[in-house]
Amino acid sequence: MSTAVIIGAGLAGLCSARALQKRGWQVTVVDSNPAAALGTSFANAGMLTPSMADPWNNPELLPYLLKNLGQESSSFLLRAGGLFSSAAWSLRFLQHSNRADYRHACEANFRLAKYSLECLQQWQQELGLEFEQRQLGTMKIFRDADQQQKSLALAEQLSSHGLDYSALDAAAAVAKEPALAAIEQELVGAIWYPQDSSGNAHLFCRSLAERITNDGGRFCYGENFRRWRWQGRKLSGFSSNSNDYDADAIVLAAGCNSPKLLQSLGLELMVRPIKGYSLTLDCTGVSSLPQQPIIDEALHGAITPFDNSLRVAGTAEIAGYNLSKTPARLQNLRQLVRQMLPAQAETLLTNEQSEWAGLRPMSADGIPYIGPVDRGGDYDRLYLNSGHGHLGWTHCAGSAELLAANMENKSGNISIDAYAAKRVLRRA
């Protein structure tokens, strides 16, 4: 039986473990946290969105960042500390914001997202995972006609690859989602994406971890990486603060910490953190709430309904590895609630359960890294599943299936070429 050690017990790591386990591998998942999904997978927006395949480094990004430099109300904020701590990544992130790279990334991300939702549906049928799933689509609302046209242009581009969407005027948007009735006069229209869905990613991870354990997988929590282990010149595993781990394969799925773990190998992984925020609001007894996720394009935020709560999430902040919660950024989310659900906002905000910040692992070109780092070389046991950015929940199952097939030298249902981990750069 082949053995694999997966570093990271978030969405990418757990799904990698599941995809390998179903193929007969013995899997061990190692994480520095005391339980699964306590990092970026803990309180994200909860949306599974092939419709949001566009990377954040779009052709309009640089003018926007310069225009909004230092403004806490900006949906995408660049802090000086974040820029200087990852200057090489920041430069490449901006270089890839040209139209050709942006189009390539959109299409690559959509292919993987569409495949991933198919995989997730199959897993759900096989495993019966409980995570407050809703398959009602998502709705993106617009207060500006130009913004709607830009989103429609992207939707049309992706429609040839299989994206379904419907352009709606304000009245039709309210008819489909009555919770928007109070702001109908402010809307110029909306786009509804029926293939999208939603669910609580943390509950998904907990349910999946339980199933992996029941099927013989092993979890080792509270394990801090110390150093890589070698057999001669070949990488064989790693040591933590308390254990040694050797395996036929090591899968690095540690989110924003993946680049740090590769540095001692002389490898620079072009993945850096982009901070996002969320609020979780108790909605018990509150009426006329959305039944599907609502994305406000202008405010770069979303409201996602779960069974007994609403998740309000959004904003993007390049601030290095700083996880502190800036009050002004959280206030932006509270303002989003007031602007999207004015009648219920104060009751919901009074029932606020938690505020949270997490670091999205964003690749410089907007496409995740999946596959072997150095097949046939000194690091040929090392594989990556990292850099999914805002699409980690959306991409998780498909990335894992694609990775697992590649680890067995088989072709996946889609080509792995666009996501190849050989895009890792070796330092001189």
**pLDDT digit string (tens) for 236-274?**
999 999 999 999 999 999 999 999 999 999 999 999 999
Per-residue pLDDT, 84: 61
Per-residue pLDDT, 423: 82
pLDDT in tens, 384-404: 999 999 999 999 999 999 999
Domain boundary among 317, 334, 363: 363
Instruction: Please state the length of the chain.
Output: 428
Three-state SS at 356: strand
Task: Kindly list the distances between the CA atom of residue 279 and the CA atoms of 276, 290, 310, 312, 332, in Å, as whole numbers in the listed order.
Answer: 11, 16, 8, 5, 11
246 and 340 fall within a common domain: no
CATH number at residue 341: 3.30.9.10
59 and 152 fall within a common domain: yes
Q: What is the Cα–Cα distance from 387 to 72, expressed in whole angstroms? A: 26
Average pLDDT over residues 420-424: 85
Domain membership of residue 188 (yes or no) is yes
Whose structure tokens read 């995408």?
Answer: 76
Domain membership of residue 119 (yes or no) is no
Name the pLDDT band for 78 (thresholds 50, 70, 90): confident
Instruction: Give the domain extent around 327.
Output: 48-93+134-197+273-363
pLDDT exceeds cutoff 60 at 428: no
Domain membership of residue 122 (yes or no) is no
207 and 343 fall within a common domain: no
Name the pLDDT band for 427 (thresholds 50, 70, 90): low
Domain membership of residue 129 (yes or no) is no
- Angle, vertex CA 369, rays to CA 366 and CA 371, nearest 5: 155
- C-beta of residue 396 within 8 angstroms of C-beta of residue 309: no
pTM: 0.96
Name the pLDDT band for 85 (thresholds 50, 70, 90): low
61 and 75 fall within a common domain: yes
pLDDT in tens, 179-207: 999 999 999 999 999 999 999 999 999 99
Per-residue pLDDT, 426: 67
Name the pLDDT band for 82 (thresholds 50, 70, 90): low
Mean pLDDT score of the chain, rounded to an integer?
94
Question: Which tokens go with 234?
Answer: 């070949």
Q: What is the Cα–Cα distance from 62 to 52, expressed in whole angstroms? A: 20
pLDDT exceeds cutoff 80 at 363: yes
Domain boundary among 335, 363, 391: 363
288 and 324 fall within a common domain: yes
Work out how many domains the chain is built from and give that number.
2
The HSE-up count of residue 109 (CA atoms within 13 Å, CB side) is 31
pLDDT in tens, 372-381: 998 888 999 9
pLDDT exceeds cutoff 80 at 304: yes
Least confident range of 102-116, 181-195, 293-307, 357-371: 293-307
Name the pLDDT band for 63 (thresholds 50, 70, 90): confident
Distance of CA 109 to the CA centre of its chain: 11
Task: Kindly list the distances between the CA atom of residue 334 and the CA atoms of 1, 172, 285, in Å, as whole numbers in the listed order.
Answer: 51, 26, 19
Domain membership of residue 100 (yes or no) is no
Helices (H), 22-162: 61-67, 80-85, 87-95, 99-127, 145-159
Q: What is the Cα–Cα distance from 398 to 390, expressed in whole angstroms? A: 15
Query: Taking each helix axis from N to C terminus, what angle separates 11-21 and 201-214, rounded to the nearest 10 degrees?
Result: 30
